[in-house]
Amino acid sequence: MAKAQIQNWFEWKRQCALALCSPCTRHVLRQFAHARFRYYVAKYLHRTNLRNPAVISVEDRQAWHLFESHLELKTTRRGKAYKNWLLSRANEDEEGAIQALESGASLIVRDVVREFMRKEISPPRTMSLSRPLNDDFARPMTMADLLPGEIDPTSKVEMREYSELAGGHAGDAFDDMKRREKIAVFCRSMGISLAHHVVAEITGCRKSSLSNSYRDAITRIASHIQHKYVKEDSESVKTLTLMTVQIVKEKVVAWAKLEKSCARLFKVAE
Amino acid sequence: MSKLKNIRRDPPTKHQEAQLVAWLNEWALYLELYAIDAATREKEGWAGTAPVDVIPAAGQIRLFPPVSTALRSRPVYVAVLQSEHDNCFLVAPYGRFAIPATPGELSTGRECAAVRVLCLWNARALPADVLRSTWLVDDMTSLELSEAIAVHRNLKKGTGLPEGLGLRIGPPLSHPADPRQIYINREDAFWDAVLSETCNLPRGLSLTYLPWLEEPRDRREMRIAAEEGAVYAVAKRFSVDNSDAVIVVSFDDEDRTCRFRVQTAEDEPCAELDACRIETPGGEVCTIEDCRAAMKADHLREGFCITDLAGRTLVLHPLN
């Protein structure tokens, strides 16, 4: 049966469009796209407790159309090269071929669902610029803090001075960091949960210890700069602190690329 | 005396605010869906042989084959920006989202999800022979290419942007707690993995060569004249992995054409490779029909490969 399923996909590639395929192939592939589409939608609704799911139903023909056209640059053979990518995952004579092919198709359907959601529905927790951020720096922050605005061209000289100061402070701060702190900062920089089992294996620590390590590292940087520039205005000190933390994070990521124990963490990230 | 001078900033524009909110919403959507099915991310499996497509050139849009772990996790499209030293090309990957995340990402204006946003901040130099093992998908317009290069140059050298491009790049990024930092770090690491894996790909092994075409014509003819029999009169035979077919290539000196015949070991016509394509690095293509194909010898001078309907390159072995 797996061989027959593979042949459906190869027929689709040979014929260029599903409409030109046999009725059996049309049915099988539409059902595949429809089933995967509904799977991801259902899981997303469950995770986000979104109400009124009826708006997110599509027919099998539409599910297939969304899948088939998602990566189609043009209606030429070259423009549909994603089919090469998809079918090249499977050697039809080998065991597991249909799984390899369908896993690739599922990756595409997941992106199709994401695109569909983006266009058709409002997310359950819509972002707004007044939404509070996780407070890493002991000061209230909102999304608006992510967009401080373009630097006035007349301040570019000052900005360079800030960059130099921040670079110096970041170098000292990085040198003072313990390995556990570096890994905690790296994980946060890559969006890896500190509770991930790989993180625990590498550090020998639980999430709570690593969270404390992260907070200690960042707080130490902020406290040092606050103390050193105690007579300066708070906005300037905040700017310098943020720049220093950013450079420290970049140094940590660069360090992790060379640190053998972190190789597994890159795979966790994606 | 104050050590820290005031930084003056222009307030963010409404457009930048709207872009940031839209991007953050798309990012949240992506994280939710991505977390659903870890098993879908990629399956280890058959990798196959890299394709051989037309030689790379600036302005092309190309797609990487799924021949490694990173490249199996999602289709990777790149824009070829310009040639570089050491037979390399500067390429930039296209992004996963509809909205540009930072000033280093450019909204292309194309509708296809694969190529809506070009990530110039992540541009790298790739060897030409690695790029040859990717599929050519489309060509950028000259305007698309010049805009991409302008954004890249502005990133590297602060040269400024042509009018109108400012609205098509992403909002500024500076805060260390901005979720876009995570996105940037992940995409950077992903592209590192792609380069690490692809640059270890065997290259050139997919091409088959016809020895009597490799020599410059004048030297070959001189050698032939000195011999009793014309070397090129001997047809070249190749077996094909995972197939009973034998490919016989002969050279017709009258019209300087190479003729391909597909047959069994018993010299009977074999239709197993019908509809397969004979392709050259120079972009010449012909299709095998009724067990036969033909191509001008000059096109085959740099070798050829045969691809099946799935775009996989067949592995040939010379028998003589």
Cα dihedral value A159, A162, A163, A164, nearest 10: 130
Residue B217 has pLDDT above 90, yes or no: no
Written as six digits, the tokens of B148 are 């991409």
At which residue do the structure tokens 């037309």 appear?
B54
Q: Residue B259's beta-bridge partner residues?
A: B250, B294
B190 close to A270: Cβ distance less than 8 angstroms = yes
Residue A67 has pLDDT above 90, yes or no: yes
B48 close to B65: Cβ distance less than 8 angstroms = yes
Q: Considering only CB atoms, which chain B residues are within 8 Å of A43?
A: 33, 36-37
Closest residue by Cα to residue A179 from A266, A267, A260: A260
Kindly report the backbone phi and psi dihedral angles of residue A83, in degrees, each rounded to the nearest multiple of 5, phi listed first: -65, -35
In this prediction, residue A173 carries a pLDDT of 94
Cβ of A6: how many Cβ atoms within 10 Å?
20
Average pLDDT over all residues of chain B: 82
Q: Binning pLDDT at 50, 70 and 90, where does residue A184 land?
A: very high
Q: Binning pLDDT at 50, 70 and 90, where does residue B186 land?
A: very high
**Is B113 close to A70, i.e. CB distance below 8 A?**
yes
- The beta-carbon neighbor of B2 closest among A191, A232, A240 is A232
Comparing A26-30, A166-170, B171-175, the range with the smallest average pLDDT is B171-175
Q: How many residues does chain B have?
A: 320
- Residue to mutate among B42, B76, B161, B181, with most A CBs inside 10 A, is B181
Fold that domain B14-32+45-198 belongs to in CATH: SH3 type barrels. (2.30.30)
Q: Put residue A88 in one of left, alpha, beta given phi > 0 → left and psi -120 to 50 → alpha.
A: alpha
Residue A202 has pLDDT above 80, yes or no: yes
Amino acid at B98: A
- Report percent pLDDT > 90 for chain B: 38
In the DSSP assignment, the letter for residue A234 is H
Q: Residue B239's beta-bridge partner residues?
A: B246, B317
d(CA B186, CA A74): 29
Closest residue by Cα to residue B168 from B68, B76, B100: B100
Give the domain ranges of chain B.
14-32+45-198, 211-318
Residue B275 has pLDDT above 80, yes or no: yes
Quick check: helix, strand or coil at residue B170?
coil
B227-234: long-range contacts (C-beta < 8 A, 24 or more apart)? B234/B320
d(CA B71, CA B48): 12
Written as six digits, the tokens of B178 are 């901005």
Average pLDDT over all residues of chain A: 85
Comparing A153-157, A171-175, A214-218, B255-259, the range with the smallest average pLDDT is A153-157
Closest residue by Cα to residue B258 from B275, B290, B236, B289: B236
Q: Binning pLDDT at 50, 70 and 90, where does residue A12 land?
A: very high
Q: Binning pLDDT at 50, 70 and 90, where does residue A45 land?
A: confident
**Is B17 close to A147, i.e. CB distance below 8 A?**
yes
Q: Put residue B242 in one of left, alpha, beta given phi > 0 → left and psi -120 to 50 → alpha.
A: left
Cβ of B159: how many Cβ atoms within 10 Å?
10
Residue B122 has pLDDT above 90, yes or no: yes
Residue of B nearest to A10 (CA): B310
Rounded to a whole number of angstroms, the distance from the CA of B219 to the nearest CA of chain A is 39
B74 vs A44, higher pLDDT: B74
Quick check: helix, strand or coil at residue B128?
helix
- Residue to mutate among A6, A13, A73, A189, with most B CBs inside 10 A, is A73
**Is B45 close to A113, i.e. CB distance below 8 A?**
no
Q: Cα separations (Å) of B114 from A60, A216, B78, B198?
A: 23, 41, 10, 20
Q: Residue A151's beta-bridge partner residues?
A: B9
To 10 degrees, what angle do helices A179-190 and A234-258 make?
Answer: 100
Pairing of strands B277-279, B236-240: unpaired
Rounded to a whole number of angstroms, the distance from the CA of A90 to the nearest CA of chain B is 6
Give start and end residues of each alpha helix (H) in chain A. Answer: 2-15, 23-48, 60-70, 82-87, 97-120, 156-176, 179-190, 197-203, 207-228, 234-258, 263-269
**Is A71 close to B37, i.e. CB distance below 8 A?**
no
d(CA A168, CA B11): 29
- The beta-carbon neighbor of B63 closest among A82, A108, A133 is A82
A176-179: long-range contacts (C-beta < 8 A, 24 or more apart)? A176/A220, A177/A217, A177/A248, A177/A252, A178/A213, A179/A203
Closest residue by Cα to residue B78 from B197, B196, B191: B191
A100 vs B213, higher pLDDT: A100
Q: Cα separations (Å) of B101 from A88, A233, B184?
A: 31, 31, 9
Query: How many Cβ pairs within 8 Å bridge chains A and B?
Result: 255
